Structure 1
Amino acid sequence: MSVAQSISLLALLILVSAFFSVAEITLAASRRLRLRQMADEGDPRAIQVIQVQEQPGHYFTVVQIGVNALAILGGIVGEGFFSPIFSAWLEYLLEPAPAATLGFIVSFVLTTSIFIVITDLVPKQIGMAAPERLAVRVIRPMLMLSRLLKPLVLVYAWLANGLIRLSGLPQKRDDSITPDDILAMAQAGAQSGSLAASEQQVIENIFELDTRTLPSAMTQRDAIAYFLRDDIEALVRTRIADDPYSFYPVCDGDIDHIIGYVRLKDLFQRVLSGTPISFEDPSLIRKLLVVPDRLSLAEMLAQFRQAGETFALIVNEYSLVVGLITLNDVMSIVMGDLVSPWYEEQIVQRDENSWLIDGITPIQDVRRALNIDSMLHEDEYETLAGFLMTMLRRVPRRTDRVSWGGYTFEVMDVDSYRIDQVMATREGTRKSD
């Protein structure tokens, strides 16, 4: 074989082997969601890739046949081409026998290195960079080879499947996507710059709805504006002027005896029409959605959708009202900084190493603001005040301190057993008293 023929054959073997490497890595690395998107955009080859991913045995058998056969053939051709050249050069320095042996070793190392770099490392790096785009380009040639080599493929596949079954290993990959997978992809997208940090936060907040309960987002009991059944019209007008809301609960005697709610729009209509406002009129009172405080925010969204309401009163196991939640409260948790800074009122950063935090601030918001990975016994409380009570095992008093996650939390103000303000200071920066 002439020099030109040897070089041409070796180059062809390298290119075909690189093709098989690309075919192997792109099938394994292609993401099902991206392939389905490509299929929806009109690329039928993406469907073929998905189908092969479901039963990849024959595909990988063809790849291995090609890779191994070409590697062996490439070694033969490379050794036959390079060995005489290196042996002839080395004969100027060594005897013919050792020169031939060393020439063979050098040609073997060179041929192996060429195949490792050009047919394995480079194609696989390229394939990992754009797996779906390359997978759809190689799928049809690979399917054609699968049909041509089908008898041989069936023999090898039968042997391989038999060994897999005997070993008890899985034969199909699990393509199920968990919330952790989605969060990891969102984080990777934010790190690469393809996803804005605010968009990543929205995705994380959506999955957080399943773990956050209503008290973490509700308006506290003492902040609820409501009417009593026997309130006179002048008092109703004054309360609306002081606390203008779209809806008001209506109670009998106190807030724990709920009879329904009234819409501000209905009250305005009565004022405009000159009709007296009286909560004794049953046509003015609407049925109120009441939910238990153990619901998650995701379950609350389902309740809103089912009932067709946008707000609800929250009661505890003793049927006492503990708070009120609106659809906007839930969506504010989802949208986070895109709506308004969640820390604007409840978490105020004083300087680089200290924060002033309201005691009723949801513990998830505290973790996010201070970049704390986890809190001790986090499933036992909803707020920063609950965390302090859990850690101290009593009602906190002013100047009480708790250390966790690299921060010292000091109670600054307590009002009738309610923790109003807490100072969070990064440990190691606190000045001595």
Structure 2
Amino acid sequence: MGIAEKLMFILFLILISAFFSMAEISLAGARKIKLQLLVDEGNENAKKVIDLQSNPGNFFTTVQIGLNIVAILAGIIGDGILSPIINKYIGNPTIAFLISFIFVTGCFIEFADLIPKRLAMVYPEKIALTLVNPMTLTIKILTPIVFIFSGVANLVFKVFNTPNSRDELITHDDIFALVDAGAEAGVVHTKEHHLIENVFELEQRWVSSAMTTRDEIVYFTLEETEESIKQKIAEYPHSKFLVCESDIDSIYGYVGSKDILPRILKGESSGLQNIKEITNRNILIIPNTLTLSEMLDRFNEAREDFAVILNEYAHVVGVITLNDVVSTLMGDVVYPMQEEYIIKRGDGSWLIDGVTATEDVKKVLEIEAFPEEDSYETIAGFMMYMLKSIPKKGAHIEFDGYSFEVVDVDNFKIDQLLVIKEEKKSEDDLENNENE
């Protein structure tokens, strides 16, 4: 075989190697979500690619057989292919062989491996759809050899109890990663990004993170006077009020402001002296073990938008409305982020209300997780857990690069925390020492 024929054969081997390299990367890297959309549109090749991805054993075996055969043939044919020509000009057989070897090897690295694989990484779905049919045909042609090698590989996987196919389940983390990537690329807007994050947070947050707590509930009793009712409505203009027989734990029902206000405006005071007449007894009562997502389902099933939350001892721990859940879902989109509970100060520190949900604090401070966070729901609960005591004013802890300090306590209840990033705190301390 002459030099020209050898060069043509080497070029042919480079093309074959490029085919296997592109097929290997593109079929493995093609995203199932995009392929499934193409399948729904009637694309048969997309269905073939998904099938290969679901059972990749024969596919990868064929690729490796093809690449190794090409490598062996290239080594045999390309051995010193350019040496005679180069040797005529430099007169040194060893250097001529080395130059020939580097040239042939470089061509395979560049054109049979590097460029094809980079193209396949950039356009995985498009190239996979183009190569799936010839790849399927190659697998059929090499079936006897593939059967032997693939069988041995399957046996090894079985011995080590390893699955033969990849897990295609999509987790919350996968979706978050896609959304984050979309936000960085500008495809997903900031508001849409926050909304998607909040939707998944509904599955993780308990109802207590969005409820009105027991000590903040404004309620009427069956013996409530007209004057007291007017005063409470004037001071707390809620849309619905809890109605109890005597105390907060003796639940009777709830009443809407729209049922009370017309009577007040018309001067029908007699109607207010017996609040039973306008109380709705079909009150939704739920345990405090529900998530906000489950709470939405309960509201939908009951066709109600107001619920009372009880603990395991049947004591009222709070009330929640549909608007509370929706506000949690839409908070970052419609309202300034945690405007009431988390305030960022000019010096880079944060003032945080004690009842702020830990999920909101993690989001603002970019903290991955709090320790044993299933044991509490608010930042005040976090402080109590870390200190192992009822915190007093001035109590502080260090966690994840932040300093958490109690700055206000009201009757054993943490009202406010001051949070300072440790780097910022160190700079401030240094500046104070220099001033002294």
TM-score grouping bracket, smaller chain normalisation: 0.7 to 0.9
Are the aligned partners of 2:179 and 2:193 in contact in 1 as well (CA < 8 Å)?
yes
Which residue among 148, 166, 174 is the counterpart of 1:181? 174
2: CA distance, partners of 1:86 / 1:55 = 48
What stretches of structure 1 of length at least 5 have no aligned partner? none
**1: CA distance, partners of 2:346 / 2:290:** 37
Q: Distance in 2 between matches of 1:37 and 1:308?
A: 36
Does the Cα contact within 8 Å between 1:75 and 1:112 map onto a contact in 2? no
TM-score by length of 2: 0.87
Q: Is the 8 A contact 1:21 1:119 kept in 2?
A: yes
SS at 1:211's partner residue?
coil
The 1:294–1:139 alpha-carbon spacing in structure 2 relative to 1, beyond 3 Å, is: same
| Equivalent position of 1:261 in the other structure | 254
Query: Separation in 2 of the partners of 1:391 and 1:168?
Result: 42
**Residue number among 397, 400, 404 corresponding to 2:395 in the alignment:** 400
CA shift for structure 1 position 49: 0.9
| Partners of 2:258 and 2:127 in 1: CA distance | 60
SS at match of 1:425: strand
Deviation at 1:132, TM superposition (A): 2.0
Alpha-carbon deviation of 1:60? 2.2
Q: TM-score w.r.t. structure 1 length?
A: 0.87
Aligned CA-pair RMSD: 2.8
| 1:30-53 residue CA offsets vs partner (Å, 9 max, x unmatched) | 222222122223322211111111
Once residues 211 and 74 of structure 2 are traced to their aligned partners in structure 1, the CA distance between those partners, rounded to angstroms, is 70
Shift of 1:109: 2.8
Is the alpha carbon distance of 1:54 and 1:271 closer, same or farther for their aligned partners in structure 2, counting shifts above 3 Å?
A: same
Structure 1 CA distance for aligned equivalents of residues 279 and 417 of structure 2: 43
Give the aligned residue type for 1:393. K
In the aligned structure 1, how far is the partner of 2:152 from the partner of 2:239?
71
The answer for the alignment partner of 2:49 in structure 1 is 49
Shift of 1:241: 4.2
CA distance 1:162–1:411, shift in 2 (3 Å): closer
Alignment of 1:155-174 (within 5 A): 155-174=148-167
In the alignment, the residues of structure 1 paired with residue 110 and residue 130 of structure 2 have an alpha-carbon distance, to the nearest angstrom, of: 22
| Matched position secondary structure for 1:331 | helix
**CA–CA distance in 1 between the matches of 2:149 and 2:398?**
62
User: Cα distance, 1:120 vs. partner?
Assistant: 1.5
1:346 equivalent in structure 2: 341
* Other-structure match for 1:145: 138
* 1:167 positional shift: 4.8
Query: What pairs with 1:76-155 in structure 2 (closer than 5 Å)?
Result: 76-79=76-79, 81-91=81-91, 94=92, 99=93, 101-155=94-148
CA distance in structure 2 between the partners assigned to 1:42 and 1:296 by the alignment? 40
Distance 1:273 1:224 in 2: 27
Deviations 1:358-396 (A, max 9, x none): 111112222222223333332322212222222222222
Q: Partners of 1:193 and 1:20 in 2: how far apart?
A: 35
Q: Distance in 1 between matches of 2:396 and 2:199?
A: 33
Aligned-partner Cα distance in 1 for 2:210–2:160: 51
Deviation at 1:25, TM superposition (A): 1.0
